[in-house]
């Protein structure tokens, strides 16, 4: 619609060369209206939904022009609440921050195994404790012990899996126990089942040992020779009866399956003897075992009462050529993360990961993944290496001098990388 000048009134003669006041008024109002719309839309532009920079004005430029822009964007990011539906913690980078102090040490937390107490075991460097995971799309909330305990009030939280899952459990306990008075907490250890109790919160943080999730002849006692291990891929009941009634279950199972290209598997009872085993390719055996676990979850877990999480595979770093050190000694003497974007080591098997996706994709009970594989794969510097124990004793000086055979590049120092796993876990809660 065009703005035409109104017809001149018989009693008013318009001045030549001058616009009527009515037209000037309409034009000015139009400009004001447009300006107001622009201002409103610009304001709404910054009111983006939590933490997703992909959909809002808080998106950081991949090519920042100045430190001022970076500071401005970081301030905006800090205002966002974590939203796992819109924010992927899987993509990001490790940022060194010397001001970060862990919430605990391996001397202050009495619940850590000697296996992961690297500083107590003589590790001389400390930089590995000051790296902070920074996701691309959001700001990951810091771990808050009080918030964690309030979320667990009146609940049972159980970590289920192998020694790496035990590390995540120990990390979680150490992250919260320091704010609990001494007489308000307790720990009861068992061969399979260990329970930390926060009495005033009526909460338990538990660990259950089941390295394959399904049963095996090496659950307890552990059989050192992988060739003698047999996995009962069709049975989980012996372990699973201990999972009933738990409010939050966090599972993992990976590294114990990776002892060779094939595995001995068994259907039926061990009482029938080991002669009836069948050799399967490792990915096939893994998939069969996961299906047994998944079927139990679908048949016994009510998703209205219980949340189920699955921690993705924890990378191993036993081949230094993966990060360009052909003459290196596994993870020994590494003091910095790999900075190459999307680095993926041979210790993270994508075929095995695809088996987890295939099985859980068919489940009725929803599974929340704690996707820690990529972010952990960068951390070649954070393993316990030679600052650990074996067979219940610390490595001798002679054993430490031979890191090629004795460096542990599977388990993580604590405090360390598993604290970030629990930071992500708490954000999902």
The catalytic site residues sit at 163, 408, 411
Distance CA 12, CA 293 (A): 91
Distance CA 105, CA 3 (A): 74
Contact, 185 vs 201, CB < 8 A? no
Query: How many C-beta atoms lie closer than 10 Å to residue 195's C-beta?
Result: 16
CA angle 169, 264, 240 (to 5 degrees): 40
- 19 alpha carbon, distance to own chain's centre: 68
In a 3-state reduction of DSSP, which class is residue 158? strand
In a 3-state reduction of DSSP, which class is residue 287? helix
Contact, 85 vs 138, CB < 8 A? no
DSSP secondary structure letters along 354-420: HHHHHHHTT-SS-EEEE--HHHHHT-TT-EEETSSEETTEEPPHHHHT-HHHH-EEEEE-SSSHHHH
């Amino acid at each position: 619609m065009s703005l035409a000048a109104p017809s001149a009134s018989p009693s008013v003669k318009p001045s030549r060369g001058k616009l009527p006041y009515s037209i000037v008024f309409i034009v000015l109002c139009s400009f004001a209206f447009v300006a107001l719309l622009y201002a409103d839309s610009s304001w709404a532009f910054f009111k983006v939904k939590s933490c997703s920079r992909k959909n809002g004005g808080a998106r950081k430029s991949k090519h920042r022009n100045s430190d001022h822009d970076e500071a401005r964007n970081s301030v905006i990011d800090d205002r966002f609440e974590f939203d796992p539906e819109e924010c992927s913690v899987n993509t990001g980078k490790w940022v060194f921050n010397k001001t970060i102090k862990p919430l605990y040490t391996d001397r202050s937390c009495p619940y850590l195994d000697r296996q992961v107490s690297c500083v107590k075991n003589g590790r001389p460097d400390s930089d590995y404790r000051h790296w902070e995971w920074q996701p691309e799309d959001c700001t990951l909330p810091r771990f808050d012990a009080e918030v964690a305990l309030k979320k667990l009030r009146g609940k049972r939280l159980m970590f289920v899996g192998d020694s790496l899952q035990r590390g995540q459990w120990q990390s979680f306990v150490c992250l919260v126990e320091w704010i609990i008075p001494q007489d308000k907490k307790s720990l009861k250890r068992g061969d399979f089942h260990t329970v930390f109790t926060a009495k005033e919160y009526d909460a338990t943080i538990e660990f259950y040992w089941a390295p394959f999730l399904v049963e095996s002849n090496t659950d307890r006692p552990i059989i050192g020779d992988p060739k003698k291990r047999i996995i009962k891929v069709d049975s989980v009941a012996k372990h699973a009866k201990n999972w009933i009634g738990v409010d939050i279950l966090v599972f993992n199972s990976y590294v114990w399956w990776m002892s060779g290209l094939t595995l001995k598997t068994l259907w039926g009872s061990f009482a029938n003897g080991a002669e009836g085993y069948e050799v399967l390719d490792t990915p096939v055996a893994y998939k069969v075992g996961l299906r047994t676990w998944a079927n139990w979850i679908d048949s016994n877990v009510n998703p209205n009462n219980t949340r189920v999480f699955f921690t993705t595979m924890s990378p191993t770093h036993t081949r230094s050529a993966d990060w360009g050190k052909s003459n290196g000694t596994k993870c020994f003497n590494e003091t910095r993360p790999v900075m190459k974007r999307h680095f993926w080591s041979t210790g993270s098997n994508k075929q095995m990961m695809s088996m987890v996706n295939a099985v859980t994709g068919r489940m009725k009970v929803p599974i929340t993944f704690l996707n820690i594989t990529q972010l952990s794969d960068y951390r070649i510097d954070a393993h316990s290496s030679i600052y650990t124990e074996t067979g219940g004793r610390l490595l001798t000086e002679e054993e430490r001098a031979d890191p090629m055979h004795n460096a542990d590049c599977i388990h993580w120092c604590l405090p360390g990388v598993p604290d970030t796993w629990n930071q992500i876990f708490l954000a999902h809660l």
